[in-house]
Amino acid sequence: MSIAEQLHAVRQRIAQAAAQHGRAPDTIELLAVSKTFSADAIRDAYAAGQHAFGESYVQEAVDKISTLADLPELVCWHFIGPLQSNKTRQVAAHFDWVHAIDRLKIAERLSEQRPVGLPPLQVCVQVNISGEASKSGVEPDQVAALAHAVAALPNLRLRGLMAIPAPCDDPAQARAPFARLAALAQALRADGLDIDTLSMGMSDDLDAAIAEGATLVRVGTAIFGSRTYATPV
């Protein structure tokens, strides 16, 4: 299938999952994860009506953003990978969203390095919701402290939480970590933070994420096909 056909299939899957759980499909944003795929593939997705794209490798992303600078400004670039301190300046300058804030130092650098004249950088705190040693993210019991500190920074706007749970083949069990993330977000709202985003769910588990309140799902392979990974930059 073409990228346009695969995009349509993913949107249909989102709409069906939303209907099954009593939600409006337009409350769930699709983020096309374009990391490792070409600028031409992004153009094809854009032509099919997709305007939000997720990248994880800074130099690769900056190169593609430059190549695609002729597209209208309604393209929205999301940085969704782990972020090292030495890469924050480029991300602050080129992206609209950052999903993987897992320590205050990174948030402070992004705030300091956000160029004058750009709107606040939209950010999510990443939570290690399944307690995996190999995963980035703050521990659940540290979410509130980090979220309040990030929300106080001048050139950022805290939008919500992000997580990548451990893979799970059981549909019922797959919902549990998403439910925990949703509960953490609700606690932050009860504590006075104005957040509206749950960035959770990917190609294999977006149905479970939507069932538990995902507002943004990150889908790559179901749209663009299988990835070939090179050395990240």
pLDDT band for position 168 (cuts 50, 70, 90): confident
Q: Report the chain's mean pLDDT, rounded to a whole number.
A: 94
CA contacts within 13 A on the Cβ side of 232 = 11
Closest CA to 127 of 93, 166, 88: 166
Q: Is 230 exposed, middle or buried (0-12, 13-18, 19+ CB in 10 A)?
A: exposed
In this predicted structure, what is the pLDDT of residue 169? 84
CA distance 189 to 45: 34
Residue 168 lies in a domain: yes
d(CA 111, CA 131) in angstroms, rounded, equals 28
pLDDT value of residue 66: 96
Residue 233, pLDDT > 60, answer: no
169-188 residue pLDDT tens: 887 889 999 999 999 999 99
Q: Is residue 21 part of a domain?
A: yes
In a domain, 229, yes or no: no
The predicted structure's pLDDT at residue 15: 97
Domain annotation covers residue 134: yes
Residue-wise pLDDT for 113-142, tens only, equals 999 999 999 999 999 998 777 778 999 999
Query: Are β-strands 76-79 and 121-126 bridged in parallel, bridged antiparallel, or unpaired?
Result: unpaired
Residue 106: inside a domain, yes or no? yes
Which position has the higher pLDDT, 204 or 121?
A: 121
Examine residue 233 and state whether it is found in any structural domain, yes or no: no
- CATH number of the structural domain spanning residue 9: 3.20.20.10
How confident is residue 230, by pLDDT bands cut at 50, 70 and 90?
low
Q: Among 50-54, 57-61, 71-75, 189-193, name the one with the lowest average pLDDT.
A: 71-75
Angle at 176 between CA 170 and CA 178, to 5 degrees: 110
The domain containing residue 216 runs over which residues? 3-224
Q: Is residue 140 part of a domain?
A: yes
3-state secondary structure string across 129-169: CCCCCCCCCECHHHHHHHHHHHHCCCCEEEEEEECCCCCCC
Determine the Cα–Cα distance for residues 112 and 116; give it in Å rounded to an integer. 10
Does a structural domain hold residue 232?
no
pLDDT of residue 9: 97
Indicate the pLDDT class of residue 229, thresholds 50, 70 and 90: low
User: CA-CA distances (angstroms) from residue 46 to 13, 27, 52, 220?
Assistant: 19, 20, 9, 14
According to DSSP, the β-strands at 121-126 and 97-101 are parallel
Q: How many domains does the chain have?
A: 1
- Whether residue 80 is predicted with pLDDT greater than 80 in this model: the reply is yes
